[in-house]
């Protein structure tokens, strides 16, 4: 069991960590190239979207969380999906598929974006990398990879470009925290300081071809390293060894969840899904109506013009003992008005925080409401987000 963040009990008796599934029958799950390493390190393994993944190592979630905030953590993210679109009309297809303006990306730049349904809700959120004038790499959520690939292929008819699923052939690790650059720089042949946030470059990691992206899901500076799947164990082991003088810790999905929550980074199936559109998810900044047509544009224009009825908001519970967890009802004067999309104690800030959708008139900072925590109506207050922002 982790230190600090205890699992909630499901009604069926299984255990549920914040944002994670209950312990799996491992033989039925997909495995990353690092699975044996996690087990040798004593990781607690869980079912995460059909993958056998480490939720934490023996040090526990809080220790790993604090290591990333203060030093550096190493994550296995090889379960993520990679979809490559290339050809004469690659940009046209990406523009059709996503609401952000990929046409503004220069080579080596990345943008946060999404696949949307016609009604404006989420197929998935993703990162768009511009590899060449006619080539894009889209990185999607692990549990949605097959769905996303099928969606992109289905929309590609009539476009002169190819859509390829490279997920099985690709490994990925994330080095996150203030010491990330110092750990990675001696091992690669490119100047990492010249790679800006949400930028990437091709390079070599001790002779191995890699893609080095200055991105992450923690709110800290860091890099995501992509390589051939079979070389992932070498990359992991080399980083783990080289990072020891910098206080590197292996980090699991448990702290990845609490870190991204502090930074108010959306999690598919929680803050965003096929029932939620981008404007109410407080992601309107990535929707570029003036770029031209894209899937979901008309629905989002109607939603914008009609006015929102709810919006994602951040909150803290007012009593230290009151920990809001994912799925708990949100109350206004005793009546349900929604549910907690994500909630956990903040190891960085020292109080209990969460995200939820609230009626628009309740979303102002300082507004009060309640969370039903196992039958108790516990007071909560809307606070500014992101909850945590690193010093730059």
Considering the domain architecture, whether residues 75 and 210 belong to the same structural domain is answered as yes
Q: Which long-range contacts (CB under 8 A, 24 or more apart) does 209-212 make?
A: 210/235, 211/129, 211/137, 212/184, 212/188
Considering the domain architecture, whether residues 225 and 107 belong to the same structural domain is answered as no
Q: Classify the C-alpha dihedral 273-274-276-282 as positive or negative.
A: positive
What pLDDT was estimated at residue 14?
29
Considering the domain architecture, whether residues 197 and 227 belong to the same structural domain is answered as yes
Per-residue confidence band for 13, with pLDDT thresholds at 50, 70 and 90:
very low
Considering the domain architecture, whether residues 200 and 59 belong to the same structural domain is answered as yes
Task: Report the C-alpha gap between 115 and 97 in whole angstroms.
Answer: 6
Task: Report the C-alpha gap between 313 and 279 in whole angstroms.
Answer: 12
- How many domains does one find in the chain? 3
Considering the domain architecture, whether residues 65 and 94 belong to the same structural domain is answered as no
Average pLDDT over residues 78-102: 98
Q: Are 165 and 213 in contact (CB under 8 A)?
A: no
What pLDDT was estimated at residue 28?
83
What pLDDT was estimated at residue 232?
98
Q: Which residues contact 266 (CB under 8 A, 6 or more apart)?
A: 125, 272, 281, 283
Arithmetic mean of pLDDT over the chain: 93
295-354 pLDDT tens trace = 999 999 999 999 999 999 999 999 999 999 999 999 999 999 999 999 999 999 999 999
> Is the residue at 368 inside a domain?
yes
What pLDDT was estimated at residue 12?
26
Nearest by Cα to 149 from 80, 62, 247, 60: 80
Task: Report the C-alpha gap between 34 and 173 in whole angstroms.
Answer: 10
What pLDDT was estimated at residue 27?
55
124 to each of 147, 253, 256, 268, 276, how far by Cα in Å?
9, 19, 19, 7, 11
What pLDDT was estimated at residue 71?
98
Residue 273 has pLDDT above 50, yes or no: yes
> Is the residue at 296 inside a domain?
no
Residue 5 has pLDDT above 50, yes or no: no
Considering the domain architecture, whether residues 188 and 56 belong to the same structural domain is answered as yes
- The CATH number given to whatever domain includes residue 330 is 2.40.30.110
> Is the residue at 267 inside a domain?
no
Considering the domain architecture, whether residues 101 and 146 belong to the same structural domain is answered as yes
Tokens of 82: 């990679």
Average pLDDT over residues 174-189: 98
Q: Are 212 and 190 in contact (CB under 8 A)?
A: yes
User: Which phi-psi region, left, alpha or beta, contains residue 213 (left: φ > 0; alpha: ψ -120 to 50)?
Assistant: beta
Pairing of strands 248-250, 72-76: parallel
245-258 pLDDT tens trace = 999 999 999 999 99
> Is the residue at 292 inside a domain?
no
> Is the residue at 389 inside a domain?
no
- The CATH number given to whatever domain includes residue 123 is 3.30.70.1400
What pLDDT was estimated at residue 351?
97
Considering the domain architecture, whether residues 353 and 375 belong to the same structural domain is answered as yes
- Strand (E) positions, 199-264? 200-205, 208-213, 222-228, 248-250
Considering the domain architecture, whether residues 340 and 199 belong to the same structural domain is answered as no
Average pLDDT over residues 360-389: 98
Residue 57 has pLDDT above 50, yes or no: yes
Residue 117 has pLDDT above 80, yes or no: yes
- The CATH number given to whatever domain includes residue 71 is 3.30.1360.120
What's the domain range around 26? Answer: 8-79+169-262
Residue 3 has pLDDT above 50, yes or no: no
Residue 23 has pLDDT above 80, yes or no: no
Q: Which residues contact 56 (CB under 8 A, 6 or more apart)?
A: 2, 43, 44, 64, 252, 253, 254, 255
Residue 85 has pLDDT above 60, yes or no: yes
| Phi/psi at 199 (5° precision) | -125, 165
> Is the residue at 269 inside a domain?
no
Considering the domain architecture, whether residues 21 and 67 belong to the same structural domain is answered as yes
Residue 160 has pLDDT above 60, yes or no: yes
Q: What percent of the chain has pLDDT over 90?
A: 92
219-248 pLDDT tens trace = 999 999 999 999 999 999 999 999 999 999
């Amino acid at each position: 069991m982790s230190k600090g963040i205890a699992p909630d009990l499901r009604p069926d008796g299984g255990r549920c960590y914040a944002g994670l599934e209950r312990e799996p029958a491992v033989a039925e799950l997909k495995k990353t190239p690092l699975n044996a390493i996690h087990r040798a390190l004593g990781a607690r393994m869980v079912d995460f979207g059909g993958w056998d993944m480490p939720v934490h190592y023996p040090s526990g979630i809080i220790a790993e969380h604090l290591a990333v905030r203060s030093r550096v953590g190493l994550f296995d993210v090889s379960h993520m999906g990679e979809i490559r679109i290339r050809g004469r009309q690659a940009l046209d297809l990406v523009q059709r598929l996503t609401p952000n303006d990929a046409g503004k990306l220069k080579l080596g730049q990345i943008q946060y974006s999404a696949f949307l349904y016609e009604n404006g809700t989420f197929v998935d959120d993703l990162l768009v990398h511009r590899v060449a004038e006619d080539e894009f790499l889209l990185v999607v959520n692990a549990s949605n990879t097959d769905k996303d690939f099928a969606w992109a292929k289905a929309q590609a008819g009539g476009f002169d470009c190819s859509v390829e699923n490279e997920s099985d052939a690709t490994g990925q690790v994330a080095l996150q925290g203030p010491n990330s650059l110092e750990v990675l720089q001696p091992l690669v042949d490119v100047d990492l300081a010249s790679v800006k946030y949400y930028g990437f470059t091709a390079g070599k990691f001790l002779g191995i071809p890699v893609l080095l992206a200055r991105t992450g899901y923690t709110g800290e500076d860091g890099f995501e390293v992509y390589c051939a799947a079979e070389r992932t164990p070498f990359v992991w082991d080399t980083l783990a060894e080289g990072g020891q003088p910098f206080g590197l810790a292996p980090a699991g999905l448990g702290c990845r969840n609490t870190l991204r929550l502090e930074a108010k980074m959306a999690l598919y199936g929680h803050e965003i899904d096929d029932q939620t559109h981008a404007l109410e998810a407080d992601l309107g900044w990535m929707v570029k109506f003036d770029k031209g047509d894209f899937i979901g544009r008309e629905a989002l224009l109607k939603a914008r013009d009609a006015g929102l009825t709810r919006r994602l908001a951040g909150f803290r519970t007012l009593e230290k003992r009151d920990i809001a967890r994912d799925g708990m009802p949100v109350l206004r004067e005793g009546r349900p008005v929604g549910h907690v999309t994500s909630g956990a104690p903040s190891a960085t800030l020292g109080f209990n925080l969460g995200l939820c959708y609230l009626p628009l008139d309740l979303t102002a900072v300082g507004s009060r409401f309640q969370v039903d925590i196992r039958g108790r109506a516990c007071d909560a207050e809307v606070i500014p987000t992101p909850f945590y922002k690193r010093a730059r």
